[in-house]
Amino acid sequence: MTSTARLAAGVCLLGGLVACTGPATRPATKPTATAHAPRSPSPQARPLSDALVHRRLVLGYSVDHRPITAIERGDPDSPRRVLVVGCIHGNEPAGIAIARALATTAVPPEVDLWVVPDLNPDGLAERTRVNAHGVDLNRNFPYRWTPIGVPGSSHYAGPRPLSEPESRSLATLLQSMRPTLGIWYHQALGVVDISQGPPTLERRYGSSTGLPLRSLTDYPGSAIGFEDHLFGPTAFVIELLPGTLTHGQVHRHALTVLAIAERS
C-alpha cells in the first residue's frame, strides 16, 4: 500500500480530518517537472513506471481554524519516506523557509517527501511559542507525556496527550505515512541535536551545514520522542541560528535534507 493510500485509510478511521486539495490518486503519466534540479544531490533518470506526485493536503485545522497543510512530493511507492516540519513553535519560524524550498526543489529518485511548513499557524500569527490554547505542542505528544507547567506558562503540556488539534493532525500523519526519516526545525541554539536520531545522518547534516553537534534534552511529550518511539531512531531536531536565514542558507539546508533523504 502506498503512503497516499495509508493516509487515506487513516483519515477514514479518524472521521475525515484530512481534506485533499490535490488529486487523491497517482497520475496516469509522469508530470513535467518545472523546478530546476539542484546541483547536489544529482537526480538520476527515473524509471518510466515511476509515477510521481506533487500534491497539497489539509491535515486539519488549528484552534483558530487556520489550515495545517502538508505537501507530498516524489515517489509514493518508495520505502524512503521523509517528513520535514518547518515550525512547531510559533516564535521559531526560520525552518518554514527551508520547508517551502523543499516544496519546489527537485526530489531525488525513490524518495517520498512530505513537508509540513507550519504545524502551529496560530502561534506563528502571534509570534508565540504556544498555540492559541496556550499549549506547547512539543510537550503534547503521547510518548512519556506528563503534566508540565500551568495554563499561561510557555511549556504548558496541555490537559492530556494530543489534546490539541495541531498535534492530533501530525500524529495522524505520522501513523499513516510511517516515516523513515524525520527532520524538525527549531531555533535558536544553532546545533544539530544528536540525542536520539540516526547518528550517521545527523553527523552528515552537521558537516554539510556547519552546525555543531550537541545532545539536547528530550522532554516528555516531544514530537521527535513520539516519532522515535513509534519507528525507531528516525527523527531529529535541527536548532537553527537566531533570525532569518539568507537565501544561500535556505538553499544549503534544503539540499542537505535531500542528500540525506536518499540514505534514509
Domains of the chain: 3-19+52-261 (3.40.630.10)
Per-residue DSSP letters for 114-134?
EEES-S-HHHHHHT-SS-TTS
Nearest to 139 by CA among 174, 179, 175, 166: 166
End-to-end CA distance of the chain: 19
Model pLDDT, residue 44: 44
The angle formed by the CA atoms of residues 129, 133 and 136, to the nearest 5 degrees, is: 35
pLDDT tens series, the chain, 264 aa: 554 444 444 433 333 333 444 433 333 333 333 333 333 333 344 444 467 999 999 999 999 999 999 999 999 999 999 999 999 999 999 999 999 999 999 999 999 999 999 999 999 999 999 999 999 999 999 999 999 999 999 999 999 999 999 999 999 999 999 999 999 999 999 999 999 999 999 999 999 999 999 999 989 999 999 999 999 999 999 999 999 999 999 999 999 999 999 887
- C-alpha span between 223 and 225 (Å, rounded): 5
Collapse the DSSP code of 68 into the 3-class scheme (helix H, G, I; strand E, B; otherwise coil) and give the result: strand
Collapse the DSSP code of 209 into the 3-class scheme (helix H, G, I; strand E, B; otherwise coil) and give the result: helix
Model pLDDT, residue 50: 63
pLDDT in tens, 188-202: 999 999 999 999 999
